[in-house]
Structure 1
Amino acid sequence: MAAEKGAPNGDLGAAREEGPGPGASRLRGCLRANLLVLLTVAGVLAGVAVGLGVRQMPRELSATHVLYFSFPGELLLRLLKMIILPLVVCSLVAGAASLDPAALGRLGGWAMLFFLLTTLLASSIGVVLAFIVKPGEGASPPKQLGQAGEMPPSKDVADSFLDLIRNIFPSNLVSAAFRSYATTYELLPIKKNLTDEQGVTVENDTTLKVLKGGEVEGMNILGLVVFAIAFGIALRKLGAEGEILVKFFNSFNEATMVLVSWIMWYAPLGIMFLVAGKIVEMEDVVALFTSLGKYICCCFVGHAIHGLLVLPAIYFVFTRKNPYRFLWGIFTALATAFGTSSSSATLPLMIKCVEENNGVSKHISRFILPIGATVNMDGAALFQCVAAVFIAQLNSIPLNFIQVITILVTATASSVGAAGIPAGGILTLAIILEAVGLPTNDISLILAVDWLVDRTCTVLNVEGDAFGAGLLQAYTERTEGRMEAEELMEIKTDVADGVKGVHTEEGSPLIKRGGPPRLVRINSCEKESVM
């Protein structure tokens, strides 16, 4: 009896020695699975706190001290940019070579349609918000804000699109890894002798604008993307002869992703110093938000609407899955996008996140995401539309319906091939202003706050890329399921035909000698055959 009573106490003691219950184990597993995400969030918050703390120091830091302070963040940017070239080329070559040409064209077509429509939606949201909020009315930015950055050179719309086409077909692949083509202008003075109404010859000094094209610093990622896809298709056409080279690119790609996984663990520290360094660099936050606060808030609200409502709604409608769980899976990449302000630099981490956390297959993520990082710029298109309306309102220039449509179309088209680098959207803003006849000098006002707005632009850009990959994964699974169902129906039909011909065909494997008659179930219909 004593032994019987003591048994439960012994079991209870053993249970206590086993450790925590299932709830604590589940919590520990959740923390372990999301450790990198939590560290990244902590890095962003710590960066804001450290930056504000350093700003409160009695002694102001010099430019050299700020550079030293931001060095760990600069190191993260250099590591990510180091990976871009081998990752983009190898992943696209391997992806294009592993896909059937019909599937390649179908996936590429759906991806481009998704990117185009979402960019057009983002542009529309930007224009509507700018007309509702009216950020340019009553705005009077201080003069020092207008000198916050160097003005980008003004360029004609036709020349900009011709440069885009030239960069699609680079003349030198080696130089395309670090240089791209851009049209520049040279103003030549010309003296003309004109005759006035009284017949007196008067000298008139004019200038002639001469086009001068040349290479400028900056990776031509669009040309590399096009070449890598074409090269991958060519390798697939070779068949067995190209398998060795395809395996090489696959191995190179896998090794690159191992490097990315190592860099990911350094990302929280680098992001902390990137954010802190930018906060320390700010001159007068109060004056900045007082003068351009409506413009900044308009951009932020537009990015939030598109990123938290529109894109998740599209994903949910087509996949019937929780879009916010998908967003949590790529949170590390989104935080890196906020810290680095570069969609190209975020590409390695984005590929890693969508594959490991959201279940996107490699042949989709490594084919679609590099293309999206080049041609999909939802955040940039939205901010450019807000900026164009803001500048028009600032100068009291009314915009008619045709000009609004021109802003939408030009912002959507010019975002394709825009540089995935910090302040890349500013370079294409001049194209939009030129297209609708707005003054380009006011771009300097946008440059004053671009360091802040560009971060949410980049977050929205990479989020759109990830959702595009998730939608294509769902589409591929649905298509493969449909093909498997069709093949299964064909097999069932063949089996049914064989059973029907059981009385006439000798030696059929479906004929079982001896035994009672049995029923064969085919396509939910019972058929009796005499065995």
Structure 2
Amino acid sequence: MGPRMAALDSKASGKMGMRAVVYYMTTTIIAVVIGIIIVIIIHPGKGTKENMHREGKIVQVTAADAFLDLIRNMFPPNLVEACFKQFKTNYEKRSFKVPIQPNETLVGAVINNVSEAMETLTRITEELVPVPGSVNGVNALGLVVFSMCFGFVIGNMKEQGQALREFFDSLNEAIMRLVAVIMWYAPLGILFLIAGKIVEMEDMGVIGGQLAMYTVTVIVGLLIHAVIVLPLLYFLVTRKNPWIFIGGLLQALITALGTSSSITATAASIGAAGIPQAGLVTMVIVLTSVGLPTDDITLIIAVDWFLDRLRTTTNVLGDSLGAGIVEHLSRHELKNRDVEMGNSVIEENEMKKPYQLISQESEIEKSMDSETKM
């Protein structure tokens, strides 16, 4: 992410950049609300056995502590430690001595008037107290925040940061080639992951039904977002027919559906190569960040190859409509920019002309002036 943020022009953080950020934030919030509503209505996890065996224990965490843990993980004190550990609030039982009130015991009724004796009567209570701790796992949130800040700083360094930009570009290219090699062996690894989960299943019918309901939930959510929300948002902003605009995207949408690859317009993937099963990778990162288990996520891989194509198509549609909305809102800035670019191109072409050609043009102009005077 560092080289991608460094490659951004400083003008990208202007009005057009802000409009793009507002668009993506709006569509993301709408998508989250739609997903929550559909999950509440369909209940894709319905049918799970209540007595299903789970190793370990579930620790109750308050919403405030979980939110504060996310903020603390955004700013890790040690980047090396953030690669394998993340902050998490733990709870410990601590004993406290609490004075006994007179109405809580028979002894209090007997010695109600003896205040000195009441001061010596206490009881021991236990309470759960939050204490700072850590758990094993990559602090992806902290690494992303640091990479974004570091990339912005490198981008503002201009020529001084050129060496760092070239280094990270080369490092990114090397890592992506390594990932491409690993992806050739991914089907074999996924085969054994799914096989291991199938062996552990006690009732394959229940698991199959849950996967089917999960698939239906995702498809319904994507259809609502792609067919209703995004075109309606485009129409409300531009007052133009969205289906004419979408008609020009058919080739791109079919390509996205067939290849399951797109370059998303989020800050995490600007200029980066498309990542296969990016939705599944994002899901793992989110679950890890909030401390939820990721043991059974391998079951989703069995159907994610199909859902990922639908998600990619929806992403391409959303990115394209977003570009149309931003272009409509920024049409005045774009016109001014085109005029400036046109003048600069003309001046640049004049500067690139050979001296002999310039002298010939000047002589022609002089001869034309003399003819007009005569």
Shorter-chain TM-score tier: 0.5 to 0.7
Structure 1 residues 107 and 148: CA distance shift in structure 2, 3 A: farther
State percent identity of aligned pairs: 29
Partner of 2:195: 276
Partner of 1:440: none
CA distance in 1, matches of 2:300, 2:124: 42
Q: Quick one: which amino acid aligns to residue 282 of structure 1?
A: M
CA distance in 1, matches of 2:292, 2:17: 25
Partner of 1:256: 175
Matched, 1:215 2:103: no
Q: Any conservation in 2 of the 1:148–1:448 contact (CA below 8 Å)?
A: no
Matched, 1:354 2:262: yes
Residue in structure 1 matching 2:214, options 299, 302, 306: 299
Partner of 2:239: none
Matched, 1:486 2:339: yes
Q: CA deviation at 1:217?
A: 0.8
Residue in structure 1 matching 2:315, options 452, 456, 467: 467
Task: Within 5 Å, give how 1:167-182 maps onto structure 2.
Answer: 167-182=73-88
SS in structure 1 opposite 2:272? helix
Q: CA deviation at 1:327?
A: 2.8
Residue in structure 2 matching 1:420, options 280, 285, 288: 285
Q: Any conservation in 1 of the 2:39–2:217 contact (CA below 8 Å)?
A: no
Q: Any conservation in 2 of the 1:129–1:298 contact (CA below 8 Å)?
A: no
Partner of 2:162: 243
Partner of 2:254: 325
Q: Deviations over 1:109-154 (max 9, x none)?
A: 5665455434433443344335544679xx7754432x23544422
Q: Deviations over 1:413-433 (max 9, x none)?
A: xxxxxx517x5498469xxxx
Q: CA deviation at 1:298?
A: 4.5
CA distance in 2, matches of 1:509, 1:467: 58
Structure 1 residues 288 and 228: CA distance shift in structure 2, 3 A: closer
Matched, 1:154 2:83: no
Gaps of 5+ in 1: 1-91, 332-352, 381-418, 430-446, 495-506, 518-528
Task: Within 5 Å, give how 1:96-495 maps onto structure 2.
Answer: 96-104=5-13, 109=18, 113=22, 115-130=24-39, 132-133=41-42, 142-145=49-52, 147-197=53-103, 200-201=107-108, 204-288=123-207, 293=209, 297-308=212-223, 310-311=225-226, 314=230, 317=242, 320-322=248-250, 324-328=253-257, 330-331=259-260, 353-354=261-262, 364-366=270-272, 420=285, 424=288, 427=291, 452=299, 463=311, 467=315, 471=319, 475=323, 485-487=338-340, 490=343
Q: Quick one: which amino acid aligns to residue 301 of structure 1?
A: V
Q: Any conservation in 2 of the 1:354–1:365 contact (CA below 8 Å)?
A: no
Matched, 1:513 2:361: no
RMSD over equivalenced CA pairs, Å: 5.0
Q: Quick one: which amino acid aligns to residue 85 of structure 2?
A: R
Q: Any conservation in 2 of the 1:373–1:420 contact (CA below 8 Å)?
A: no
Q: Any conservation in 2 of the 1:96–1:232 contact (CA below 8 Å)?
A: yes
Gaps of 5+ in 2: 109-120, 235-241, 348-360
Q: Deviations over 1:71-113 (max 9, x none)?
A: xxxxxxxxxxxxxxxxxxxxx2211222123315778756654
CA distance in 2, matches of 1:186, 1:278: 34
Query: Which stretch of structure 1 is more off in the superposition, 153-162 or 278-287?
Result: 278-287
Matched positions, count: 324
Query: Which stretch of structure 1 is more off in the superposition, 239-248 or 482-491?
Result: 482-491
CA distance in 1, matches of 2:262, 2:67: 32
Q: Quick one: which amino acid aligns to residue 420 of structure 1?
A: I
Q: Deviations over 1:331-381 (max 9, x none)?
A: 3xxxxxxxxxxxxxxxxxxxxx436xx999x98243998xx979x96xx6x
Structure 1 residues 100 and 300: CA distance shift in structure 2, 3 A: same
Structure 1 residues 177 and 460: CA distance shift in structure 2, 3 A: same
CA distance in 2, matches of 1:489, 1:467: 33
CA distance in 1, matches of 2:302, 2:124: 45
Q: CA deviation at 1:169?
A: 0.9
Q: Quick one: which amino acid aligns to residue 268 of structure 1?
A: P
Q: Any conservation in 2 of the 1:235–1:242 contact (CA below 8 Å)?
A: yes
Q: TM-score, normalised by structure 1?
A: 0.48
